[in-house]
A and B are shown apart, each in its own frame.
Chain A
Amino acid sequence: DGGITQSPKYLFRKEGQNVTLSCEQNLNHDAMYWYRQDPGQGLRLIYYSQIVNDFQKGDIAEGYSVSREKKESFPLTVTSAQKNPTAFYLCASSIGPSTGELFFGEGSRLTVL
């Protein structure tokens, strides 16, 4: 079955550590996105990529980094510069940049101890 796989599902890290969240899709989608969701809040866009080797900052990119070396993969690194990283992270993809339909992974819940 085609879909988006995020790992790990739960992650704990100590302050000052970088952590990388994995996102892989086998839907052959061109566009991929990372969102952050805090309890009771909406989704805020961190980074997005429309094609391989290209990505743009979203609304809250500070303290995060991404790469898009392959069409299928869009990993997100939460760096120690991110002041409040505890959150639910969602990866999504879409066929192209013009569609309103995103397909989401199951999310990664990061807790900083």
Chain B
Amino acid sequence: GQSLEQPSEVTAVEGAIVQINCTYQTSGFYGLSWYQQHDGGAPTFLSYNGLDGLEETGRFSSFLSRSDSYGYLLLQELQMKDSASYFCAVRDWAGTASKLTFGTGTRLQVTL
């Protein structure tokens, strides 16, 4: 089966940088995604890493190391609106079917 580990909570100050780590165990690994979810809302897609390295999208960056089964999400210039839960998710293949399995999420609290 699959397993993903990420910290349960992170607190950071407005304007700072925060890194949320994710380690995973899975067979048939295809890629790692990151999602943001505000309380009461649906998850929204942030980024996807299919290959090793860094992907940058505005204030958010995501990194993947397939050899280490590890990735992270980097949020820069934190804003109050970034307070939310962040989930890593692995895309993997089981036979002929592919699915996306989510971690348990990291709750980010941005303070003044």
- Residues on A lying within 8 angstroms of B by beta carbon are 31, 33, 35, 41-45, 48, 50, 56, 58-59, 90, 94, 97-107
Contact between A42 and B42 (Cβ–Cβ < 8 Å)?
no
* B: number of interface residues (CB 8 Å): 26
Residues of B12-48 whose CB lies within 8 A of A: 30-33, 35, 41-45, 48
| 26 A–B contacts, CB within 8 A, in A order | A33-B99, A35-B102, A41-B104, A41-B105, A42-B87, A43-B43, A43-B87, A43-B89, A45-B99, A45-B101, A50-B97, A50-B98, A56-B99, A58-B99, A59-B1, A59-B101, A97-B98, A98-B91, A99-B48, A100-B32, A100-B45, A100-B49, A100-B89, A100-B91, A102-B43, A103-B45
Chief secondary structure at chain B's binding surface? strand
Contact between B33 and A104 (Cβ–Cβ < 8 Å)?
no
For B105, the chain A residues whose CB sits under 8 A away are 41-42
For A107, the chain B residues whose CB sits under 8 A away are 42
Does B100 have its Cβ within 8 Å of any Cβ on chain A?
yes
Contact between A100 and B100 (Cβ–Cβ < 8 Å)?
yes
For B99, the chain A residues whose CB sits under 8 A away are 33, 45, 48, 56, 58
Contact between A105 and B97 (Cβ–Cβ < 8 Å)?
no
